[in-house]
């Protein structure tokens, strides 16, 4: 294959593009604005690697099974290198409740429901070192891509044929047959195409939350808390969602997401002392973060501007561009709460490889790539957007004085809390099927759409709380007012503001 490829960005999206396209024999050049990792030691890299182009690099990360399975199938040696650097596998059996473990019978397909978890910097370090060893891949650090080289072609379609910018402060212009834009959340080159008249479709709305993460390290001689003897280390309290992410080399991170409307809490939680105090109020997190077991490392890393965004490069069968393929956050963004960002990028790279192998026609390539992404990613995007909208309403309701849930609202909540949740915590096979949707191995709603599965859920729901008592998890944390008071915050402050805004709106 003689086609040349320029990939903008050496984050997860750009690296996954190289993993997907390298076996095709194309010449691949990755342009990365930041300098390479400063060392081969994951701890040094975590502390000293400056990633201006990936501001979320120190947020919690995990690779879902869909991405892990891609690596396992096409680059098994990379899995070995990831493990050698200390990354972790979280297997299906580790997600079972104590009740489920008593009846669990492993199935061959359970191995495909494995998560890779680690500090993001360690994940990037391992993949980057592997990609640098591929014969037809070159990474050019210090290259700040400022502009796409374009020309308008037949039908008003914008043809992209290169990239210009600075490489270590010297002006450089490069051309290639294929341009892949993996510049991510902070990328701006696709906006250039829109400004030049490219008919790119876009939909966007807020995810309604902000993210806050702090890293910890186990003290010498300490081990991670037991997953069976302690409450779950993740949960949803409405006013916050939280989770512990086991990392590499004795490290782990805690992420707390706060609704946008929780103004007082989201301001206070950037204070490391307040963040740590929050973790100690959560029964499933406290065993990880108490002073006897671990110590915090560094500041609280916040992340805002979280939106669900979908861009279409083909509208009504007409491509907006030629030879230009955005992927990852450049093309589709979702709430990071669901951990699908890296998998979206990897799947997009696989779809691009398939597209380039199926046809050489530039316009047809755009249509095929677009259709594949719609089929593979759109269901997860829509599913996550619906969950975001529901969470936003729930957070707003909690701050609305006098709010009362409707009868229908109570029924729907009971179905999911006392039916779906309890069924998944009781029935191993239902959980297995649901996890296939979570891991992007099949449509996210497929398992519940099966009549037999829905019948099982309804059966658990009809049993009632008393008969299902053993399946209910411990309470994940305190009520909002109790948490706010424990943090020396006024639990009524945002409620008063909400009330004033409601009166003004009326």
Q: Are residues 351 and 370 in the same domain?
A: yes
Q: Are residues 480 and 432 in the same domain?
A: yes
Convert the pLDDT of each residue in 105-150 to its tens digit: 999 999 999 999 999 999 999 999 999 999 999 999 999 999 999 9
Whether 424 has a pLDDT exceeding 60, the answer reads yes
Q: What is the mean pLDDT of the chain?
A: 93
Query: Which is nearest to 167 in space by CA: 145, 141, 183, 143?
Result: 143
Q: Which of 283, 303, 323 is the last residue of a domain?
A: 303
Q: 343 lies in which domain range?
A: 4-61+119-205+307-384
Q: Domain with 366 in it: what CATH number?
A: 3.50.50.60
Q: Are residues 255 and 176 in the same domain?
A: no
Residue 34's pLDDT is 94
Secondary structure in 3-state letters for 103-116? CCCCCHHHHHCCEE
Whether 503 has a pLDDT exceeding 70, the answer reads no
Convert the pLDDT of each residue in 223-281 to its tens digit: 999 988 889 999 999 999 999 999 999 999 999 999 999 999 999 999 999 999 999 99
Do the Cβ atoms of 25 and 272 come closer than 8 Å?
no
How many structural domains are present in the chain? 3
Q: What is the widest separation between alpha-carbon atoms in the chain?
A: 71
- By the 10 Å C-beta count (0-12 exposed, 13-18 middle, 19+ buried), 371 is classed as middle
Q: Is 178 within the bounds of a domain? A: yes
Q: Which of 249, 282, 303 is the last residue of a domain?
A: 303
Beta bridge partners of 312: 201
Whether 498 has a pLDDT exceeding 90, the answer reads no
Region 189-201 average pLDDT: 95
Q: Are residues 41 and 132 in the same domain?
A: yes
Whether 15 has a pLDDT exceeding 90, the answer reads yes
Please enumerate in sequence order all residues whose Cβ is within 8 A of that of 215, keeping only pairs 6 or more positions apart, or say none.
Answer: 46, 58, 119, 247, 251, 252, 253, 296, 297, 298
Please enumerate in sequence order all residues whose Cβ is within 8 A of that of 505, keeping only pairs 6 or more positions apart, or say none.
Answer: none
Region 62-66 average pLDDT: 94
> How many other C-beta atoms lie within 10 A of the C-beta of residue 300?
19
Whether 10 has a pLDDT exceeding 60, the answer reads yes
Q: Are residues 293 and 327 in the same domain?
A: no
Backbone φ and ψ of 306, nearest 5°: -90, 115
Q: Is 56 within the bounds of a domain? A: yes
Which sign does the torsion angle of CA 351, 354, 360, 361 carry?
negative
Region 287-313 average pLDDT: 95
Q: Is 84 within the bounds of a domain? A: no
CA 349 vs CA 23, 165, 181, 184, 486: distances in Å: 13, 24, 11, 14, 47
- The answer to whether the pTM exceeds 0.85 is yes
Q: Which of 251, 271, 303 is the last residue of a domain?
A: 303
Whether 1 has a pLDDT exceeding 70, the answer reads no
Q: Domain with 296 in it: what CATH number?
A: 3.30.70
Q: Is 22 within the bounds of a domain? A: yes
Q: Are residues 124 and 54 in the same domain?
A: yes
Q: Are residues 319 and 174 in the same domain?
A: yes
Residue 300's pLDDT is 96
Q: Is 170 within the bounds of a domain? A: yes
CA 68 vs CA 48, 81, 181, 334, 440: distances in Å: 27, 13, 22, 19, 11
Q: Are residues 423 and 466 in the same domain?
A: yes
Backbone φ and ψ of 75, nearest 5°: -140, 65
Q: Is 27 within the bounds of a domain? A: yes
Q: Is 134 within the bounds of a domain? A: yes
Q: Reduced to 3 states, what is the DSSP secondary structure of residue 312?
A: strand
Least confident window among 37-41, 305-309, 484-488 = 305-309
Q: Are residues 166 and 244 in the same domain?
A: no
Region 413-418 average pLDDT: 95
């Amino acid at each position: 294959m003689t086609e040349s490829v320029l990939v903008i960005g050496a984050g997860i999206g750009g690296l996954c593009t190289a993993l997907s396209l390298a076996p095709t024999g194309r010449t691949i050049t990755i342009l990365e604005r930041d300098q390479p990792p400063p060392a081969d030691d994951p701890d040094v890299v975590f502390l000293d690697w400056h990633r201006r182009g990936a501001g979320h690099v120190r947020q919690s990360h995990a690779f879902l099974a869909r991405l892990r399975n891609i690596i396992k199938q096409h680059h098994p040696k990379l899995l070995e290198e990831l493990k050698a650097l200390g990354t972790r596998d979280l297997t299906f059996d580790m997600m079972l409740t104590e009740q489920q473990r008593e009846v669990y019978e492993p199935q061959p397909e359970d191995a495909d429901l494995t998560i890779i978890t680690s500090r993001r910097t360690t994940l990037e370090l391992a993949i980057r070192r592997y990609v640098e060893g591929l014969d037809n891949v070159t990474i050019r650090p210090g290259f700040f891509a400022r502009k796409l080289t374009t020309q308008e072609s037949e039908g008003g379609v914008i043809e992209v044929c290169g990239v210009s910018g600075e490489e270590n402060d010297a002006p450089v212009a490069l051309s290639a047959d294929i341009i892949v834009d993996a510049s991510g959340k902070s990328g701006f080159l696709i906006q250039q195409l829109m400004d030049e008249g490219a008919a790119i479709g876009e939909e966007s709305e807020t995810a309604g939350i902000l993210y806050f993460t702090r890293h910890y390290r186990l003290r010498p001689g300490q081990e991670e808390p037991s997953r069976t003897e302690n409450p779950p280390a993740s949960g949803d309290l409405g006013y916050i969602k939280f989770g512990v992410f086991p990392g590499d080399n004795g490290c782990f991170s805690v992420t707390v997401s706060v609704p946008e409307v929780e103004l007082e809490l989201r301001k206070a939680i950037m204070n490391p002392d307040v963040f740590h105090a929050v973790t100690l109020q959560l029964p499933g997190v406290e065993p990880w973060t108490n002073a006897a077991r671990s110590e915090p490392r560094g500041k609280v890393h916040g992340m805002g501007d979280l939106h669900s965004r979908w861009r279409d490069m083909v509208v009504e069968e007409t491509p907006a561009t030629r030879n230009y393929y955005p992927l990852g956050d450049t093309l589709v963004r979702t709430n990071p709460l669901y951990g699908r960002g890296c998998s979206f990028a990897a799947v997009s790279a696989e779809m691009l490889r398939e597209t380039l192998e199926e046809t050489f026609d530039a316009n047809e390539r755009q249509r095929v790539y677009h259709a594949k992404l719609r089929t593979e990613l759109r269901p997860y995007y829509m599913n996550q957007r619906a969950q975001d909208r529901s969470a936003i309403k729930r957070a707003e309701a909690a701050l609305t004085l006098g709010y009362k849930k409707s009868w229908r609202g109570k029924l729907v909540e009971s179905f999911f809390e006392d039916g779906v949740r309890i069924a998944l915590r009781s029935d191993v096979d239902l959980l297995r099927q649901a996890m296939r949707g979570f891991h992007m191995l099949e449509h996210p709603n497929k398992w519940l759409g099966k009549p037999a599965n829905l019948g099982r859920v309804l059966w658990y729901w009809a049993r009632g709380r008393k008969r299902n008592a053993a399946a209910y998890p411990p309470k994940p944390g305190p009520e909002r007012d109790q948490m706010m008071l424990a943090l020396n915050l006024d639990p009524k402050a945002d409620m008063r503001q909400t009330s004033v805004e409601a009166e003004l709106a009326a």
